[in-house]
């Protein structure tokens, strides 16, 4: 068992091929946007930049004022392990992340500025899931 020192940076290579595909397939950015997230009813809203790729969903925060570099603040979630549903009483959607055993591991309320933005995010998440499924079976 190797322990990673706490100060050592782990860099996620977004240009690397997608894992879990039969052949080397490159990921692509499907959509990105600023969302406010809330982890629980009592937790504060956090302003984030969310990135949806063919195979993963990233939740980030800018590291500087120019907003040209970002820090990933939540673990990367594979699109096959997330479920997004519209919120009935708010502008946004809920995002539930599951483990490989089908057990929920994280739950977020993702708040958008308009209902149209929420609908677009839900559509894009569905598109990413479908695109990844096709990438898995293509030879």
Tens-digit pLDDT profile for residues 114-129: 999 999 999 999 999 9
Thinking of the domain 29-137, which architecture would CATH place it in?
Roll (2.30)
Count Cβ atoms below 10 Å from residue 83 Cβ, excluding itself.
13
Minimal CA–CA distance to 93: which of 76, 78, 113?
Answer: 113
CB 112 within 8 Å of CB 39: no
Counting Cβ atoms within 10 Å, is residue 104 exposed (0-12), middle (13-18) or buried (19+)?
Answer: exposed
Element (H, E) at 117: helix 115-137
Tens-digit pLDDT profile for residues 49-75: 999 999 999 999 988 777 677 889 999
Which residue is associated with the tokens 């690397």? 16
Domains of the chain, residue spans:
29-137
CB 51 within 8 Å of CB 79: no
């Amino acid at each position: 068992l190797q322990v990673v020192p706490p100060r050592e940076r782990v860099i996620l290579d977004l240009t690397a091929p997608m894992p879990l595909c039969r052949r080397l397939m490159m990921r692509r950015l499907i959509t990105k946007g600023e969302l406010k997230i809330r982890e629980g009813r009592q937790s504060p809203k956090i302003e984030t930049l969310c990135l949806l790729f063919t195979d993963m969903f990233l939740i980030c925060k800018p590291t500087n004022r120019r907003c040209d570099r970002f820090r990933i603040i939540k673990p990367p979630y594979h699109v096959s392990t997330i479920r997004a549903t519209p919120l009935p009483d708010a502008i946004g959607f809920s995002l539930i992340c599951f483990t490989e055993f089908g057990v929920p591991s994280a739950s977020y309320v993702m708040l958008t500025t308009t209902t149209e933005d929420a609908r677009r995010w839900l559509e894009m998440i569905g598109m990413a899931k479908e695109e990844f499924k096709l990438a898995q079976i293509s030879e």
